[in-house]
Every structure is written in C-alpha cells, then in structure tokens.
C-alpha cells in the first residue's frame, strides 16, 4: 500500500532525526489529522524511553534560561535533547525580547537539539493534551533527554508531574512567591527545587524557608527533594541541578518509584484520552448546530435542570449506547 510505504519512510526519517519530518509529525498529531493515529502507533513502537524532566514555576523565574543551560549540559554527553515549551511567554515560543532570542539561537542551530513550543491549553483545558504525544515523537527521534517547560499555574503543575519522570520547581527570590504561599499540592509534585537568580539578594532566605517547610512534611516515598541554588544566566549551579536529576533517577530505579510513576503516567494518559474522545464524540453527535444553546434555554426557562439535561444528552448518544454494553448486559 503506497500510503503505508509513505508512512514508513516518514517514520524512518524521524528516527534518523530529520527535523522537517519531526516537525511535520508533531503538527499532524497536534491537529489530530487522520493519518496521525497510525503514524503515532509506528512512532510509539520506535520510541525508546527518554529521561523526561519537567521544569515548572512562575513566569519570569528563569525556566527558559535554565532549560537552555541544562540542554547544553546534556549535549556535552552527546545526548540528543528535546525541548518542549508549553509557555506562551517562553523565548522558545517566540515571546522573547531580542536578547533572549539571540541566546536561544545557539541551541536552535544545534542539530542535536529539537525545540518545540505548544499552546498552553488545549480546547478542553489542561496541559496542551498533545504534549505527551510530542514527547513520544521526540523519543522516536532519538532524544534521550526531553525537557518540558511549563508555566506553573495550578493544575498544569500536577499534569506536568504526570508527563515527566522528574519535576523541577523553579523559584526565585523577590517574586512574591514566598514559600509560605505555596499550595501544598505544588510542593508535593516537586522532586527537586531550584532556587534561581541566586545572584540576587534573598535566595538564601528562600532556601531556609523551603528547607524548613520540607522538614516538617517529609515525603512518604523516602525521597528527600534536593534544593539547589542556580544562576541560570551564568550557568552557575546548573551542574548541581543536573546531578540532582541524575540522583533522582538513580533513586527511582533503585526503589519502585520509577515504575510507580510510569504506571501513573500511562494511567493518567489513557483516562485523559478517553475523556477527550468521549466528550468530542458526544459533542459532535448531540451538540452541534447550536443544540447546546437549546439545552441552555431549557435550563434557564425551567424546562430542565443541568443534571437531567446531561442525562438526556448521554442517553441520546448512539455512540455511547451502541459501543458500550448496557448495565443489564454486563
Ligand atoms: N539576575 C538573574 N536573572 C536571570 C536569571 N535567570 C534568568 N534571568 C532573567 O530573568 C528573565 C526571565 O527569564 P526566563 O528564562 O525567560 O524566565 P521564565 O519565564 O521562567 O522562562 C530574563 O530576563 C532572564 O535573563 C538569574 O539566574 N539571575
Ligand atoms: Mg519561559
């Protein structure tokens, strides 16, 4: 079949690290093109698990600068590195001042580095849903390290924790993100803390507060999250951050943590895909042509209530009803 040959040669070019082929594959998968699903299947079979590190934190904390320096560090080991920036303000996604863009050029002209930026949120909310798939493409393309930069806004941090093998939370002094104000959930997903802008006053105080907080709530898995001071602009502390990532990986391999994380990752991915697929099917089938607004009218005018409306929509969905056994058939 000609089409399948084309797909095969596309996959071969991706595996060889052809940037154009990689870019086209990511675009196809992001936009859910019909050929994407078979392509993804072939790529998944080629993908060798990369070390995926999530770099998250408030805008301006220095994530992109750190990612750039970390990538350079991994490149010294001749590793192919993928960078996924899920951050609208990231220099990687073009939202940079000129100085930043020139800085990033050193990476973007390196054939061993593949950089991809993505929209922050998918249509259905949450971390750009395709980010997981992009990681798979980069793994198929031979990246043994993938760095995922995300802006830390609530739920995204938890989602990046599902995507990454290790999550680095980047803090910086003088940004108003006092350790006290962190939500418990954010603290729990960080495997490593980087206190960036260590060249600025206040870094020591952030570290003290953080260590105090960590000492009162030790993790149940036995990992003690290291706290590393970095100055991303000069690269100081980046080697220590890299070592912390290596140590965490070794810890995960020596305990069952890495395996447990893998299971959590694929479980979350399966459920997210299922949620998306079912929602899209029902919307397409039951809510197109302004039909959703008729339901809204019914609720407003008292003919229905939101729960009953959803019950009726689900009941009417032939997709759901023909493809799932009814309760009495189970
Ligand atoms: N003084 C100082 N500035 C930094 C440091 N790291 C990053 N910056 C600057 O902080 C700004 C935001 O950095 P960026 O990496 O874009 O932050 P992001 O929004 O978290 O990705 C840029 O102007 C950087 O040059 C650092 O360690 N020290
Ligand atoms: Mg950024």
The verdict on the CB of residue 304 being under 6 Å from ligand 1 is no
Residue 172 Cα to ligand 1 midpoint, Å, equals 9
Task: List the chain domain ranges.
Answer: 1-46, 47-255, 266-329
CB of 88 within 6 A of ligand 1: the answer is no
In angstroms, what is the span from residue 157 Cα to ligand 1's centroid?
Answer: 19
Contact, 311 vs 280, CB < 8 A? no
Quick check: 151 and 87 in contact, CB under 8 A? yes
Ligand 1 proximity of 56 Cβ (cutoff 6 Å): no
Partners of 93 in beta bridges? none
Span 207-238, pLDDT tens digits: 998 898 888 878 889 999 999 999 999 999 99
- Distance CA(30)–CA(324), nearest Å, equals 28
Q: What is the pLDDT of residue 123?
A: 45
User: Residues with Cβ within 5 Å of ion ligand 2?
Assistant: 63-64, 87, 90
The predicted pLDDT at position 97 comes to 44
The ligand whose atoms approach the alpha carbon of 197 most closely is: 1
Pocket flag, ligand 1, residue 62 (CB < 6 Å):
yes
> What distance in angstroms lies between residue 100's CA and the mean position of ligand 1's atoms?
9
Nearest by Cα to 74 from 169, 166, 145: 145
Strand partners, 170: 57, 194
Looking at residue 215, what is its pLDDT? 87
Predicted TM-score of the model (pTM) = 0.86
- The string of pLDDT tens digits covering residues 76-104 is 988 899 998 876 555 554 444 444 444 56
The SS3 of residue 146 is: strand
- Give pLDDT, residue 11: 96
Fold annotation for 47-255:
Rossmann fold (3.40.50)
Instruction: Tell me what pLDDT residue 177 has.
Output: 56
Per-residue DSSP letters for 163-226?
A: H-SEEEEEE-TTSS--GGGS-HHHHHH-SEEEE--TTSTTHHHHHHHHHHHHHHS--TTS----
For ligand 1, the distance from its centroid to the CA atom of residue 210, given in whole angstroms, is 20
**DSSP code, position 13:** H
In eight-state DSSP terms, residue 48 is: P
Query: Measured on CA atoms in the order 150, 156, 158, 162, is the torsion positive or negative?
Result: negative
Residues of the chain with pLDDT under 50: 1-2, 93-102, 122-126, 329-330
Measure the CA–CA gap between 197 and 202, rounded to whole angstroms.
Answer: 9
Q: Which residues are 84's β-sheet partners? A: 116, 148
Which atom of ligand 1 approaches the CA of 97 most closely?
23
91 CA distance to ligand 2 centroid (A)? 6
Distance from C-alpha of 99 to C-alpha of 111, rounded to nearest angstrom: 22
Task: Specify the 3-state DSSP secondary structure of 56.
Answer: strand
In the prediction, which pLDDT does 33 show? 76
């Amino acid at each position: 079949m000609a089409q399948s040959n084309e797909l095969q040669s596309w996959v071969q070019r991706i595996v060889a690290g052809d940037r154009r082929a990689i870019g086209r594959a990511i675009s196809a998968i992001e936009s859910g093109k019909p050929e994407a699903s078979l392509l993804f299947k072939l790529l998944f079979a080629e993908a060798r698990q990369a070390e995926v590190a999530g770099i998250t934190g408030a805008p301006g904390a220095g994530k992109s600068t750190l990612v750039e320096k970390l990538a350079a560090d991994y490149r010294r080991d001749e590793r192919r590195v993928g960078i996924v920036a899920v951050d609208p303000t990231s220099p990687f996604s073009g939202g940079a001042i000129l100085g930043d863009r020139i800085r990033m050029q050193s990476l973007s002209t390196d054939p061993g580095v593949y950089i991809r930026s993505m929209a922050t949120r998918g249509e259905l909310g949450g971390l750009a849903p395709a980010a997981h798939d992009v990681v798979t493409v980069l793994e198929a393309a031979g990246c043994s390290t993938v760095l995922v930069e995300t802006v830390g806004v609530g739920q995204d941090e938890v989602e990046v924790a599902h995507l990454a093998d290790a999550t680095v939370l980047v803090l910086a002094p003088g940004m108003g993100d006092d350790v006290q104000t962190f939500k418990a959930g954010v603290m729990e997903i960080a495997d490593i803390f980087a206190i960036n802008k260590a060249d600025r006053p206040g870094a020591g105080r952030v570290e003290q507060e953080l260590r105090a907080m960590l000492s009162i709530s030790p993790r149940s898995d036995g990992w003690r999250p290291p706290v590393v001071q970095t100055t991303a602009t000069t690269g100081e502390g980046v080697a220590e951050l890299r070592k912390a990532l290596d140590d965490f990986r070794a810890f995960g391999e020596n305990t069952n943590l890495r395996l447990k994380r893998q299971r959590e990752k694929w479980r979350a991915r399966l459920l997210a895909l299922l949620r998306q697929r079912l929602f899209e099917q029902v919307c397409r089938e039951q809510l197109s042509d302004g039909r959703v607004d008729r339901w809204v009218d019914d609720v407003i005018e008292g003919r229905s209530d939101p729960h009953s409306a959803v019950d009726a929509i689900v009941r009417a969905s032939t997709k759901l009803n023909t493809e799932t056994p009814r309760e009495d058939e189970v």
